[in-house]
Structure 1
């Protein structure tokens, strides 16, 4: 859609083009027919953060944080203070005795972290000269704390006072952190997941402590994605396509899956030689979950994994022309994905008719519940456990960016916000809704003029 902006789309790298998923200009199931382009950044935009129902923040390699009105596209504030690229950003709700106001917490390669007031655009707090760049941020609103991860994992209070920290990691830094029950934290560092426990002081004379309680070393390669699934589970994905679902309380493995690329052939007897998949075709770039399913972006494909049946229920090995960078699972069975090829695509999960015979296995192999088997020659298990029960059907394709789309935000199913390496932010709006709003606005103005 809207290919007139660019005259077409080219993938951002040496990839094989596909015409199978070309949907064309007519997209009756795609409601995002209006586009608004927002300019303000002068380098690639990597992050989008939702502030509330009508505002969001954007940040990237130019070191600037911009605040926007999602309905009008108006630039509300320009937050300047970092001298290098933004490496992490998140929302921080600051509470006081009088009120509660939304804040923006941003980290930069200049080894600083700043807290910004979203209403005024002013910088409230800042910490500089950190030991290393902060790669990830986590806000624990329940404890009124926030954590920064890099070569050191630090715990801070809302006044930017350092409460405690871990020892320095010399070889590799922490790239992702999530909250777990019972004041625990899971941190991804290279191939390992480290479980930390926060000790809350019982009195003013005592101090905060953060202690390592367990190391999970079941991944064969670096962890690329780490997410909370629900109150009972969290998941991690690696560079070689491993998906592990963990128990949030005892940190044991609930299921282990491994993607091998195109190992399932329609006609196995005609297969002469198995070719090892390229590394980028196996790597898990992004994970998301709605509590029932996990959506994994693997290479240029999308895989939907069921937590109930512990198998892949639907997949598209080639969902985009290049690597998928961000996905979202919606409650109505729809999915959204964006890619390095500059596109944003909409998918719907549809049930398949029961097969007469066992379907060819998906690209994840099952090794059993609560147990890991990482033999490289292990064959993918076939049978009922590996049946692909649904299909992913393409229903919409948004083309507007000339660079890789890094991520997106969805506001009330009416506005989709995207950011890209082309320095632009785009608001994709529901055309019918926008038309009704304009008509209502015009009607109200006419009524006011009659009353004058």
Structure 2
């Protein structure tokens, strides 16, 4: 925690990133998360959070534990957890809840299927060196699992007398490690890799619907050699995470953020350097704001603000392939194009910086007005609360208690 007091946050990116990444002072009038609660229970890196219902969520990480918490009913002194499962026997890299099947899956060195009472139903021993790092739900009792450069399709058999899960297909079209895996809609899921590849897949037959490779477009500089132009950090184009609400796609690319409109079919806002280091996770909050977290230990809130004048947008790049969303025809790769000057673009303005973790923030969950939960390499979970709402709730509880005792 001393590093926070001294104003440093551990690992940083390049000097260029530190200069370009925007900063914000202590005055943050648009940041409602002014109160926090630290939850302790893990003994190693907490890598994953999954929402169970409106109040409960589960956390998992390298200590092989899965802990269930309640976002509002914990003990304020001890952060009392609701349930802990410690017999997982391996590091947990991802969790997937399948409500329609009344089971949840954990991925790591093996893929395990659990019922809602946290009883192990079946598992598949991994036959490769790579761990399962991401899972996504597919139709017909199937799931897609990211393992290094491959996506393996598993099929669940939940019929009596014995539950089973087995691999039925391997997708080997990525050239590098897969970092992001999301369900776009009923027809498509997407994967993104370390070298900037994004592939759209059909959810039923698992065929490629679109492929694109992002490449930062740098302006030509006089006297700069081609060799120097090619000396770019590989992680600058790494697809760390993808999120979509159906209308917008938010992508964490290196240390930057992109927001793409599926209706306008173009990038509506971007910031190449949003953090000092790689962005690990991002989402859209209930009020339309964008939230992101990074290896540098920061959690940031961004507001989309319309630009007053027409401006030149970012190249559509790999986002051009999302124009296939909602189309019935099969399509191949969509070429990158330089769009003309257009109006209606937005800027990503920093409105909040949540300081509390001393290690890389792996991901977070938003519970709307109830708050946001973050997890980190520092072994901690933090629940960030709306300070005004919490103050009002405490005042109301005190008023009711005094009324019960006849003090009013």
TM-score range, shorter chain: 0.7 to 0.9
Cα distance in 1, alignment partners of residues 127 and 290 from structure 2: 38
> Contact between 2:13 and 2:278, CA under 8 Å: does it hold in 1?
no
RMSD: 3.8
Shift of 1:352: 3.0
* 2:346 aligned residue: 390
Gaps of 5+ in 2: 325-330
Larger Rg: 1
Shift of 1:269: 5.8
> Contact between 1:314 and 1:392, CA under 8 Å: does it hold in 2?
yes
After TM superposition, the structure 1 = structure 2 runs for residues 257-406 of structure 1, keeping only pairs within 5 Å, are 257-261=212-216, 263-265=217-219, 268=220, 270=222, 272-273=224-225, 274-353=229-308, 355=310, 358-359=312-313, 361=315, 364=318, 366=320, 370-372=331-333, 380-384=336-340, 389-406=345-362
- Give 2:136's match in structure 1, choosing from 170, 173, 178: 178
> Contact between 1:312 and 1:388, CA under 8 Å: does it hold in 2?
no
TM-score normalised by L of structure 1: 0.73
Seen in structure 2, the aligned counterparts of structure 1 residues 230 and 160 have a Cα distance that, compared at 3 Å, is same
Seen in structure 2, the aligned counterparts of structure 1 residues 320 and 13 have a Cα distance that, compared at 3 Å, is closer
Shift of 1:149: 4.8
Shift of 1:316: 1.2
Cα distance in 1, alignment partners of residues 46 and 132 from structure 2: 22
Cα distance in 2, alignment partners of residues 4 and 205 from structure 1: 55
Q: Which has the higher helix share?
A: 2
Matched, 1:255 2:255: no
* 1:18 aligned residue: 19
Cα distance in 2, alignment partners of residues 151 and 422 from structure 1: 22
The residue matched to 1:142 in structure 2 has which SS? Answer: helix
* 2:372 aligned residue: 416
The residue matched to 1:76 in structure 2 has which SS? Answer: coil
Cα distance in 2, alignment partners of residues 271 and 311 from structure 1: 33
* 2:31 aligned residue: 30
Shift of 1:335: 0.8
Shift of 1:24: 0.7
Higher relative contact order (CA 8 A, sep 6+): 2
TM-score normalised by L of structure 2: 0.80
Shift of 1:194: 3.5
Cα distance in 2, alignment partners of residues 388 and 222 from structure 1: 35
> Contact between 2:64 and 2:92, CA under 8 Å: does it hold in 1?
no
What CA deviation, in whole Å up to 9, does each residue of 1:241-284 have, x standing for no partner? 112222323434443332223x232xx36472423421222222
Seen in structure 2, the aligned counterparts of structure 1 residues 450 and 415 have a Cα distance that, compared at 3 Å, is same
* 2:80 aligned residue: 76
The residue matched to 1:439 in structure 2 has which SS? Answer: helix
Seen in structure 2, the aligned counterparts of structure 1 residues 137 and 38 have a Cα distance that, compared at 3 Å, is closer
